[in-house]
Copies of this chain bind each other. A is one copy, B any other.
Amino acid sequence: MGELSEVVAAVRERRPLVHCLTAAVTMNFVADALLAAGARPMMTETEAEAPTLATAADAMLINLGSLSDDGAAGIPAAAGVAVERGLPWVLDPVAVGLAPVRTPLARQLLELRPTVVKGNASEVLALAGGRAGGSGPDATDTVADASQAADALAQRHGSLVAVTGEQDLVTDGSRTGMLDRGHPSLARVTGTGCALGGLLAACLAVAEPWPATLAAISWLTLAAEDAAELSRGPGSFKIALLDQLALLEPDSVDERVGLR
């Protein structure tokens, strides 16, 4: 079994509990994607309860998406628990650079050295360089534009950095991987990027950051390819994507993404 296949199989076997502090608009899809993958989601975001519940988690996702007041207070408290307990965690700094709470919050979280930082090109450029970027949740830069910024972020914070888009780039500051299987349907429904954050956290619970990150991206993009063939439009694509996250044949992952 290839390295990525092993990660997929391990998530299904160990069923990691993933605590998610994530955008209200897509939290249900993130939870369903995690369950479909074989992991278990938990979603409380308040400062009063998230830190306590997080102590039972195997990994954590922090996504700044629609950032509620509850989340703005609960996220730093929960991230502190992740750091203290050595939980792997993912930062998805949605729309960083564009709004006054999430921008300083993302920088504060970066200082806590997330295991993986995942964003689109504009978000990664904004994080690394201090400039504003993007149009709402959408990138206005290409993945290639953000390659140097991703390396710099990775070196500075010891995080693995994943830049997602039509291609997906992964860097730990010394080596860079490129996956070229993104499917355009993924941009036609909400929550696929947020779900990738959840899958990343689930894979980090069972594997080292490099194979975990490649496995999570591969899992989503291969499932998307399969789902696109089974669907008529964005509604049926989204449903088929959940099906295929569950049905993906683990043995085929490395071969399909060209790693063996």
Contacts and interface: CB of A to CB of B under 8 A. Distances in A.
A69 B46 contact: yes
Interface string A87-131: 000000001001111100000000000000000000000000000
A144 interface: no
A239 interface: yes
A66 to B, nearest CB: 5
A49 interface: yes
Contacts of A135: 17, 40, 56
A143 to B, nearest CB: 19
Given A27-B24, A135-B17, A240 B236 contact: yes
A25 interface: yes
Contacts of A136: 17, 19, 40, 42, 53, 56-57
A7 to B, nearest CB: 20
Given A17-B135, A24-B43, A102-B49, A238 B66 contact: no
Interface residues of A, number: 63
Contact of A190 (B24, B28, B56): B28
Interface in A30-63: 31-32, 35-36, 40-46, 48-49, 52-53, 56-57
Contact of A247 (B44, B98, B100, B232): B232
Given A67-B44, A69-B48, A100-B52, A236 B239 contact: yes
Interface of A: 17, 19, 23-29, 31-32, 35-36, 40-46, 48-49, 52-53, 56-57, 65-70, 72, 95, 98-102, 135-138, 188-191, 231-236, 238-247
Q: Which 7 A-B pairs have the closest CB atoms?
A: A235-B242, A233-B243, A235-B239, A42-B136, A49-B99, A233-B246, A31-B190
